[in-house]
Amino acid sequence: VQLQASGGGLVQSGGSLRVSCKAARAISSWFWQTTMGWYRQAPGKQRELVAKITNGGSATYGDSVKGRFTISRDNANKKVYLQMTNLTPEDTAVYYCNAENLVERREYWGEGTLVTVSS
């Protein structure tokens, strides 16, 4: 399984951006067994949870993004999305797609996509 993230870029403060992640070469049953998530790492900081969503659609958010970011998943196409609104420079980071397969008890990571918010 390969996690392919896309959609990062440069946006002004207050703007919106959506990043996507596709679980390439994953079979449908694998995706159904997997909690998908987004983490981010800013320069000089530890990687932190942004949001994750279970196969049933239950979402969890990091405190700093609650009310601004929305995670969703498309099980048919094996994709997960992160819609980001009201972005601030503090949201600038590399955003990593994460997959936690509950049967394998294994995590997968994508390469990351850079989101830069200018003030």
Residue 96's SS3 state is: strand
The answer, yes or no, to whether residue 117 has pLDDT greater than 90, is yes
pLDDT tens sequence across 61-81: 999 999 999 999 999 999 999
Tell me the pLDDT tens digit for each residue of 93-102: 999 999 999 9
Among the listed residues 106, 29, 104, 95, the one whose alpha carbon sits nearest the alpha carbon of residue 62:
95
| Gap between the Cα atoms of 28 and 96, Å rounded | 21
Q: Indicate the pLDDT class of residue 26, thresholds 50, 70 and 90.
A: confident
DSSP state of 13: T
